[in-house]
Each structure stands twice: as C-alpha cells, then as structure tokens.
Amino acid sequence: MEEEDKKVIKVIIHGREYPIRSDEDEEYVQKVASYVDSKMKEIADSNRPFPSPVAIAVLAALNIADELLKIDNTQSTVPIEFEHEIDALSERLMDVLEE
C-alpha cells in the first residue's frame, strides 16, 4: 500500500497525541499504542526519577525489546514480516520522540 493510501490514526501515548499512519485497522493500532503507553506508565510510576519523557520512552522500548527477545529465545525465530514491522515502529517512535 502506498504511503498516501494509509490512514492516519490518532493515538495517545504518555499523555501526548500522535498521528500514526498505518494500513492496519484502528483497533490494532490502538492496542499497540495502549501497550506502549502501559509500559511507559509502569516506568514513570516507579519510584525512580527520570529526567525526561524521552528517557521513559527509551526504557519502555528496551523493556518491550527484552520481552520480544525472550519470546524469540523460547520459540522459533520471529517471522521476517514481524521484524520489519518492529523496525518500522521503532523508526516511527524515534522520529516522533525527536520532534
């Protein structure tokens, strides 16, 4: 699907709204955003001080990557299409965090 054919879905992560361009259905994109939001909230609610939302986002990304790699180690390899999706989502996250 061409980039211009993808729909824009607004999600809220860590109190901020982000427009996500995706060809996935809205329910799935909201579920992914909710998971990331819950990981960031978990870190932010810990009793450790964090210097910025970016630090919280990086730690959340590390936790999610850790979960993925642990699953990968207990199962066969992650299908290549998931690796591409994970890479694309990581790039989007970094682009949004740099704004």
The residue behind tokens 């936790």 is 63
Q: Report residue 57 as tokens.
A: 């986002």
- Provide the pLDDT confidence category of residue 79 given band limits of 50, 70 and 90: low
- Mean pLDDT confidence for 64-91: 76
The pTM for the full model equals 0.68
Residue 71: per-residue pLDDT: 82
Report the C-alpha gap between 15 and 74 in whole angstroms.
34
- Assign 16 a pLDDT band (cuts: 50, 70, 90): very high
Per-residue pLDDT band at 38 (split at 50, 70, 90) = very high
Q: Please, what is the end-to-end C-alpha distance for the chain in angstroms?
A: 26
Residue ranges per structural domain of the chain = 3-98
Please say whether the beta carbons of 51 and 72 come within 8 A.
no
